[in-house]
Every structure is written in C-alpha cells, then in structure tokens.
Chain A
Amino acid sequence: MSLLTAELLKLRTTPRSLTGFVILVVAIGGLGAAGMIGGTPAAERDLPQFDADLVGIAEAAALVSILLGITLVTREWRHGTITPTFLATPRRDRVTLAKLATAGVVGVLVAVLALVVVLAVAVPWLAVIDSPLEMNGDVRERMGLVLMTTVLWGLLGASIGSVVHSQVGATLGTILWFLLLEPLAAVTLGLLDADTVADYLPGSVLSSAGGGPDEGLSVSGGVLVALAYVAVIGTAGIVRTSRRDVT
C-alpha cells in the first residue's frame, strides 16, 4: 500500500508534466463533446442513443491513460530515479506491480475527469438548446464502459513500459502500433480471410471492451482478452525489470 501511495506521490510532485496530462484530458473531453453536439443535426440529437454516445466521447481519454501508464514506468529509467526506487524497494516485482496498480488508479481518475468535462460541456449546452441530457440506464452503462476502457489502457501502458524502458521507444512504438501497424495487420488478415484473428489484436480488443463497434468480440470477451494481454506483457515486464542491471 505504501508503494502505491508513493507512486501517486511521484505523479503529484511533478506538477508540470501532470498539468500537461490534465490539459490533454480536458481538451479531448471538451472538444469531443462540443464537436459532437455542434455537428449533430437537431433531429438526431433527440434519438435515445445520442446521450449515451455523447458520454462515450470520454473514452478517447484512454489515449492519455495509456501514455500516463507508459510514462510512470519509463520516466524512472529516463531520469535515473529507478536507482533510489530500487534501493528503497529491492524486490523489483513489487515495484512493477505497484506501478501497474497505480496505472489502474490513474485510469479511474482519467475517466472521472474526462466524464466531468464532457458533462460540464454537454449538460448546460443541451439544456439551452432544449434537448436536455437524460441520465438513463444507457448513459450510466456507457460511463461504466468509459471507466473500464481507461483502466485497461492504463494497465496496458504500464505493462508496456515495464518491458520497453525507453520512454521515447515505448511511447512511439505504442502509437505506431495502434495507428499504423495494427490497421495494416488487420487489413492483411482480412485479405487472408482471417478476420477473427484480427479481432484479437490489442486495439480491436480494447475497442470491444469499451463497447465499441458491433463486430469483433463482446464487451466481456474484450475485457477478458485485454486483461490477458496485461497479464502476459506485465509478467514479461516483471521478469525483464527484475533481471536488468541498473548501471
């Protein structure tokens, strides 16, 4: 427990980088919500699905979640603070597990912040244009999925960071995978008539876990496979971190 609170203290005590991540979440939530309300014709705004989809915009903050997950591991290697960290906690598996747990907590905070921002934009705006947001079961379920998504992405980020200790390498590699490599792989698999395999690629899995497009895995299936990814990559990270010489 003290390791978890120490990890959160590490985040709190670098105010500039923390502010950067907060601004990113606020921008993603605020601009996303504004764009969606402004860009949807009035007739569609009254459809029952609209409110849930609007709240679901907050899911985009999962990007910040994975970046934070990567950062909270890799910056310790980058700045050499991993040395005092390991001197204080020579059981490195505990350090890695504490960082994974921290990434989960951070994922919750990112979701809460993103949802608050989306609601702060949506509730008054929709009230003014006389199409008030209804806090129905669909909307609440969608909020739950946003939370689930940011937590899973955060966990994945921390496990990636514990395998690839270079901050730049882990960040660029992750972005490259989701933006370029996975779509290419999916297209290739589609050409080979192996679409079901593509459903198990990480980006597709995370999207399913967040209640994304109807094709692919179910929500629960997506969550389970995503957790399996975290377990496998996280275990590799624990092994890699425990073996590495800190020079």
Chain B
Amino acid sequence: MIEVEGLSKRFGRTQAVADLSFRVLPGVVTGFLGPNGAGKSTTLRAILGLVRPDAGATRVLGTGYAALPRPLEQVGAVLEASDVHPGRSGRNHLRVLARTAGIPQSRVDEVLAQVELTGAARRRAKGYSLGMRQRLGIAAALLGNPEVLVLDEPANGLDPQGIRWLRNLLRSLADEGSTVLLSSHVLAEVAQVADEVVIIHHGRLIRHARVEDLAGGAAPASRVRSPDAERLERALAAAGIAVEDGSAGALLARAPAARVGEVAAAAGVVLHELTPEQASLEEVFLELTAEGTS
C-alpha cells in the first residue's frame, strides 16, 4: 500500500506537485501517467523519501519511507538508469547495495540471473547500454524481494522482449499481492499491464480510474477500409456518423464497429477492414491532459 496525501512540492518557481492525493493498493498494478513534467518523478521521489514535501505526506506500508526498518526488503525502486558509478561493475554495484542493506550476497547473483545480466555482470558499467543499465536498476529493486515496487519509466531503453518480460514480472508480483506503481508518459504502454491508472497533469490529479472504465468514457471509433471508400463515406455520413481520414487510406468512423458494419451492409459496400479503434485510450489521455493546459 502506498498513500499520498495532500502532497505539494515546489522547485524554485515551478509548482511540481500541488495538493495531490491517491492510494495504490496491494495486488494491483497501478499506472502513474502524465505528460513530461507533470510531476510524476517528484511524486515518486517524495514517496521514496528522496524529496522533502512542502506540504502533505506520503506513506509506504503505513509509514514514512525513512521509518521503514529494512527499506530495501520492503520497497524496491527503479529510478534513473544511470545511477551507477561508471568504473564499478554491475555485480559490484549490487554487492554494495546488498552490503548496505544487510541482504545476503547470494541474492546478487540470483537477481542478475533473473534480469539476464549475468554475462555482463563483471564488466564496468561504463560500457553498458541503456537497456543493460535499466536491467541493472530492476535487479537492484528486486534485491530485497520487496512487497512494494515503484518504477519510474522502467520501459525506457528496454527492447521489446525486455518490456514483455517486465510486464509479466510486474503482473505476477501483483498477483502474489505486491503493490506495484509504475510511471509512464505513454498510456498504451501502461494499459497493457495496469489495472488502474492515476493520471496527473501540472502536479494535480486528473483522474484515478480502472483502465476499462477509462476507455469506456471515450467516444467509440472504428477504422474501416473499403475499395469503394467514397460510397462508404457517403453512406456513413447519411447515417449521421462523422468520418475522418484515417491512416494508410483507411477511414476513421466515429461509431462502434458493429454500427459501421450495419451501415456498410445496408449500402452494399464491400469492406476490407473493420477494427474497433484502440487509440481511443490514448485520446482519452490526451483529452484529459489537454484540459489543464488551456
């Protein structure tokens, strides 16, 4: 469980976070979304005791981070991928953390194997790719087998296999009852794994909802392709359905796929494609985060 209550933080003239409150429950993957500069990292760092709030409070497992008796065994965090001394090997980076936290050194090789970094573990971190650094960061977070995971843009630099691996890992940890909070500025990326999303903009809460409820709130749209696009467009317009030019010669019809199919059948137009538009999730996000800008 992670609780954020009335959190506010200002850096100089920038109000990074303003009176933000939300709760992250165990057994659930919660996506933490917002455009760049929305205050996500500041909020995560406040939760982890790295940033002192101007007002409000954050609690992890019922207490402030600094009061956790064995922090690395309770909370794992993936922040910036570059937080490694370039002259130290990945394995030694983890050995230092294990030593600091009193975690058995045997865990180091276990987590290295888990993130598939064993081969490069004894090389200096200077030569690591961004993806390797990200894996090292994830290894560090898993070192203490924590029940709470906080991840800031963890997919940065990971290859598609890595992203899928991470998704499966987070899913299984949440299913075992862990609390998982991961930030991203890409809704589609988070929607594949998250059960809930917390959306913030300009440091304020915009929406906290289950992913399916969020998508349901958007106007339905369908991608449709026909060899006789002009006639289809006329038929749809006649049925009162707004039509836009979609990508790659397709049309974007502002109606559920079933309705578009019925109209096309009634008009006798051949369809080559009819797809419910998934991007509507992304549009919800853009719509929600555009409101604050105006």
Residues of A within 8 A of B (CB): 2-3, 5-6, 9-10, 13-17, 75, 79-81, 83-91, 243, 245-247
28 A-B residue pairs with Cβ-Cβ distance under 8 Å, sorted by A, are: A2-B99, A2-B102, A9-B92, A9-B99, A10-B88, A10-B96, A13-B95, A17-B87, A75-B85, A79-B85, A80-B80, A80-B82, A83-B50, A84-B83, A84-B140, A86-B49, A87-B72, A87-B75, A88-B72, A88-B100, A89-B71, A90-B71, A243-B52, A245-B11, A245-B50, A245-B52, A246-B50, A247-B42
For chain B, the bracket of interface size reads: 35 or more
Decide: A83 and B83 in contact? CB cutoff 8 A: yes
For B82, give the chain A residue with the smallest CB separation.
A80
Q: Are A81 and B83 in contact (CB under 8 A)?
A: yes
Q: Which of B48, B89, B95, B140 contacts A9 (CB 8 A)?
A: B95
Q: Is B32 an interface residue (CB 8 A)?
A: no
Chain B nearest CB, measured from A243 CB (Å): 7
B219: Cβ under 8 A from any A Cβ = no
Assembly CA distance A5 to B96 (angstroms): 9
B268 to nearest A CB, angstroms? 62
Query: Is B85 a contact partner of A81 (Cβ separation < 8 A)?
Result: yes
Tell me whether B288 is interfacial, beta carbon within 8 Å. Answer: no
Q: Given contact pairs A13-B93, A83-B80, A89-B101, enumerate 14 new A-B contacts (beta carbons under 8 Å).
A: A2-B102, A9-B99, A10-B85, A80-B82, A81-B84, A81-B85, A86-B49, A87-B72, A88-B100, A90-B66, A245-B11, A245-B51, A247-B11, A247-B50
Nearest-Cβ distance from residue B53 to partner chain A, whole angstroms = 10
Complex contacts, B75 vs chain A, CB 8 Å: 87
User: Are A2 and B96 closer than 8 Å at their CB atoms?
Assistant: no
Complex-state Cα separation, A83 to B83, whole angstroms: 7
Q: Is the CB of A90 within 8 A of B88?
A: no
- 0 or 1 for each of B239-251: is its CB under 8 Å from A? (1 = yes): 0000000000000
Closest chain-B Cβ to A34's Cβ sits at a distance in Å of 31
**Closest chain A CB from B16 CB (angstroms):** 9
Q: Once the chains bind, are A247 and B45 in contact (CB under 8 Å)? A: yes
Chain B min CB distance to A62 (Å): 25
Chain A residues in 8 Å Cβ range of B83: 79-81, 83-84
Taking the closest CB of chain B, its distance from the CB of A238, in whole angstroms, is 14
Q: Are A6 and B96 in contact (CB under 8 A)?
A: yes
Number of A-B contacts (CB under 8 A): 87
Q: How far is the CB of B147 from chain A (nearest CB, A)?
A: 15
In angstroms, Cα B111 to Cα A68, docked, is 32
Q: Are A90 and B68 in contact (CB under 8 A)?
A: yes
Q: Determine the chain A residues whose CB is within 8 A of the CB of B41 once the complex forms.
A: 247
Q: Evaluate contact between A15 and B99: CB separation under 8 angstroms.
A: no
CB pair B71–A88 under 8 Å, yes or no, is: yes
Given A13-B89, A246-B45, verify A91-B51 contact (CB < 8 Å): no
Check B65 for interface membership: any CB of A closer than 8 A.
Answer: yes
Q: Which residue of the partner chain, among A6, A14, A16, contacts B100 with CB atoms under 8 Å?
A: A6
Q: Are A87 and B88 in contact (CB under 8 A)?
A: no
Contacts of B89 in A (CB 8 A): 13
| Shortest distance from the beta carbon of B199 to any chain A beta carbon, whole Å | 22
- Contact A14 B88, beta carbon cutoff 8 Å: yes
Name the CB-closest residue of B to A8: B99
CB contacts (< 8 Å) of A90 on chain B: these are 49, 65-66, 68, 71
Closest chain A residue to B86, Cβ basis: A79
In the complex, what residues of B have CB within 8 A of residue A245's CB? 11, 45, 50-52
Closest chain-A Cβ to B206's Cβ sits at a distance in Å of 23
Docked Cα-Cα span, A16 to B124, in Å, equals 11
Contacting residues, chain A, for B101 (C-beta < 8 A): 88-89
User: Is B79 on the interface with A (CB-CB < 8 A)?
Assistant: yes
Segment 37-92 of B: residues with Cβ below 8 Å from A: 41-42, 45, 48-52, 65-66, 68, 71-72, 75, 77, 79-80, 82-89, 92
B51→A84 contact, CB < 8 A? no
* Complex-state Cα separation, A85 to B49, whole angstroms: 12
- Ranked 8 nearest A-B pairs via Cβ: A13-B92, A80-B83, A90-B66, A246-B50, A6-B100, A6-B99, A14-B87, A88-B100
By a CB distance below 8 angstroms, the chain A residues around B65 are 90
Provide the bound-state CA to CA distance between A103 and B95, in Å: 21
A17, B124: Cα distance in complex, Å: 13
A86 near B102 with CB under 8 A, answer no
Whether the Cβ atoms of A85 and B100 lie closer than 8 Å is yes
B271 at interface, CB cutoff 8 A: no
B50 touches A79 (CB 8 A): no
Q: What separation, in Å, do the CA atoms of A142 and B65 have in the docked complex?
A: 48
Would you call B97 an interface residue if the criterion is a C-beta within 8 Å of the partner chain's C-beta atoms?
yes
Which residues of the partner chain A approach B51 to less than 8 Å between Cβ atoms? 245-247
A83 to chain B, nearest CB (A): 5
Residue of A nearest to B124 (CB): A16
Contacts of B72 in A (CB 8 A): 87-88
